A and B are shown apart, each in its own frame.
Chain A
Amino acid sequence: GAGVSQTPSNKVTEKGKYVELRCDPISGHTALYWYRQSLGQGPEFLIYFQGTGAADDSGLPNDRFFAVRPEGSVSTLKIQRTERGDSAVYLCASSIGTGATTGELFFGEGSRLTVL
């Protein structure tokens, strides 16, 4: 597609429920990133994929968070047993990632998660 696409754009769930957020990167971009943006803050890094593998998941806050990218394109961020503190906008970004230089990031419009 023309840009990074994220679904759903809004998700309201109850505490303790399971949530999946989807990201479809720009075609041909091998690098994919998830960031989380809380109200009034800058985005915070969660996880980075180069191809199918998670090259760095050091930003995931705890083991309730998990992400996959099975075919090296679409990625899904999964959150188990959601807590109110998980409420934020989850941003996905992609870049042309080859070798040591991954290049400029292009962000999607985000998925706004509200945990009641």
Chain B
Amino acid sequence: ELKVEQNPLFLSMQEGKNYTIYCNYSTTSDRLYWYRQDPGKSLESLFVLLSNGAVKQEGRLMASLDTKARLSTLHITAAVHDLSATYFCAVESGAGSYQLTFGKGTKLSVIP
């Protein structure tokens, strides 16, 4: 059974600081996704990581994937209040699989 663990689950940080959220998963996977969820809203796709060593950046967020270590990171640079949300990683269980297994999410609060 595929397990996905995120840490930390809660993160409070000041504006302007940097931090990294970690996502570990238990079995081999070809794809990893990062989603953002605002309170009461749905999940917004941030990144799709398709191969070992993949790195994607959008604004102050950068995601990377190490399939050998079964680890993905979401790095936040110079945080701003607008980044406050819950961030989920989700792992596809195999090639062409359609099931995503989600982590519990990291609730990020950026304090002005």
Other CB < 8 Å A-B pairs besides A31-B98, A33-B98, 11 of them? Answer: A35-B100, A40-B104, A50-B98, A91-B42, A99-B96, A104-B45, A104-B48, A107-B42, A107-B43, A108-B42, A110-B42
- Dominant secondary structure of chain B at its interface with chain A: strand
- For the complex, is A62 an interface residue (Cβ under 8 Å from B)? no
B33 touches A56 (CB 8 A): no
B104 touches A105 (CB 8 A): no
A window 24-53: CB within 8 A of B: 31, 33, 35, 40-45, 48, 50
A43 touches B96 (CB 8 A): no
- For the complex, is A109 an interface residue (Cβ under 8 Å from B)? yes
Rounded to whole angstroms, the CA-CA distance of A33 and B104 in the bound complex is 19
Kindly list chain B residues whose C-beta atoms are within 8 Å of the C-beta of A116: none
- One digit per residue, 1 when the CB lies within 8 angstroms of any chain B CB and 0 when it does not, for chain A 55-76 equals 1100100000000000000000
Which B positions have Cβ atoms within 8 angstroms of A? Answer: 4, 33, 35, 41-43, 45, 48, 88, 90, 95-96, 98-105
A104 touches B102 (CB 8 A): no
Closest beta carbon of chain B to A20's beta carbon, Å: 20
Kindly list chain B residues whose C-beta atoms are within 8 Å of the C-beta of A59: 99
Instruction: For the complex of A and B, list the 10 residue pairs with the smallest distance between their C-beta atoms, beginning with the closest.
Output: A42-B102, A100-B96, A109-B42, A107-B42, A107-B43, A102-B98, A45-B99, A48-B98, A43-B102, A42-B88
